[in-house]
Every structure is written in structure tokens, then in C-alpha cells.
Amino acid sequence: MSVNEVGGDGMNGSAVERIAGIHEDLPLGERVLWQGAPSWFSLARHAFHIREVAAYFVLLAASSAVMNLIDGVPVTGAAAPLGVGAVGCLLLAFLAWLSSRTTTYAVTTRRVFLRVGIALPLTINLPLRRIEGAALALHRDGCGDLPLSLEKGPHLAFLHLWPHARPWHLKHPEPMMRCIAQPEHVARILADALQVSHAEQAARAAQDVADGTTTTEETAGAAVSTAPVPSHSMGIGARHLHGSLSTGQQHGYGAAA
């Protein structure tokens, strides 16, 4: 399995750690702060929209039954859409389960990893220095989403990321840790890691300025990297966590459920 690296980073140290499902060791001294996977049940509801599909076939069966009653035809024939809908929902649930089983999210002291893909596994490496900020959307089932706003540069296509991408952001896709348990706990961990990373980047930029070895572009980039994602970009509350992470109830890309 190859690592699709979106930028690079590392640090020197003594300990070697490995993320479950990724066959490559982390750089020496880099630590895993959190790793997990999406809830398949929440993924089925919020990514594969299994409830909406079920509701569609129930309405189809009900309308068919009404039409049969009007025409004097036995309503038993209206049960066909229910059978088709049941099969469709089972397939969606199976896909959600497979997606959960083949997905690993991880936050380290230097990067965020997303191992995604059912048939063609893809490991995405996002150095914290390339993450400008993150947002938190909560679901009523206790799970939540953490979309990551990246600095300008090369990025993966939306279809390569889906369902691990912020919905409807097609032109500038945002990788997203989706339907994770204890989302606020994970958000705090990510916020702290971003804060440390951005502080180190700003300190390096300041040292380079003092040494006269930096460029205007690098200095500007260091300043931009500390800016939080605007909360209105997801239609969520204006409460902010430290480390460039905004949080609130989900409204921006679908009703909370």
C-alpha cells in the first residue's frame, strides 16, 4: 500500500510508532495522539442517506397502494417497491459497514492520516503545517464530522475522497474525518496539535526573518496558517476552540440527526 503524501514532514526522536492499517513506520519521535474509524451506523445515515432511501420506497409503495385502491386492484402488488427498497437499504448498510472497516483516521504530532478506500486503499498524509484550520459538526447520534481546511496547493479530487470529504465542496475538496465517536474529544486533540504546529511554524518563520533567510511569501504563509476556519462557512455556531478549530451544531451541510 503506497502513501499518497500531500506535502512532507518529520521530526527526529527516539521512539518509533505505527498506525493500525498503515504498513509504514512514523518518523522517529512522532507520536500517535488519536486513531479511530467512522461508525458504520452513523455513516449509513449521514453519508449513504439510508433513511432517505427507505422513506422514498415507503412513499412509493404507499402511492402505489392508493392507486391500486382507486383502480379496484388488490393492494398486494404495491409491496414490490418495499422489497426493492429493503434490498437497496441492505446494500447501502453493507457499503457503510465495509467503508467503516477499511477506514482508519489518525492524528499525530505532525500530521493527520486518512486511510480510505474499499477496493483501492489510499493513505492520505496531511502535515499539520498544511492544515489552515478545521471545523466540527455534531450529529444527534453522538457522532460528528471534522472537515479540514487546507492551504492552497495540490489536492485530491472530491471523488477520490468521498465519503471522507466535506459535502458539496467540489472545487476545493476538504478531507473529512466523518462520523467519528467522541467528536469533541478528537476535536480538542486536533486543536492542540494544530496550535503547537502553527506556533512552531511561526517561531521558525520569525527566526528566519531574524536571520534574514526567509522570503516574503514564506512569512505570509506562516501568518495565514494560524487563521481559523470561519464558522459561517459551515453554518455553525461562532464558538471557537483554540488551535484554529471552530465547533457547533450541524446546519451547514444537512440537518442534524
- Residue 208 within a domain: yes
Q: Coil, helix or strand for 37?
A: coil
Q: How far is it between the farthest Cα atoms of the chain?
A: 89
Average pLDDT over residues 9-25: 58
**What angle do helix axes 50-71 and 80-101 make, rounded to 10 degrees?**
180
- What's the pLDDT at 252? 39
Q: Average pLDDT, stretch 85-112?
A: 94
- Regarding whether 111 and 215 lie in a shared domain, the answer is yes
Q: Helices 216-224 and 183-211: crossing angle, nearest 10°?
A: 160
Q: How far apart are CA 24 and CA 28, in angstroms?
A: 12
- One domain for residues 74 and 116: no
pTM reported for the whole predicted model: 0.72
**3 in helix, strand or coil?**
strand
C-alpha cell at 186: 478528537
234-254 confidence digits (pLDDT tens): 332 223 333 344 444 333 333
Same domain, 87 and 109: no
**In a shared domain, residues 139 and 182:** yes
pLDDT in tens, 115-167: 998 888 888 889 998 898 899 999 999 999 999 988 887 778 888 889 999 99
Residue 70 pLDDT level (bands cut at 50, 70, 90): confident
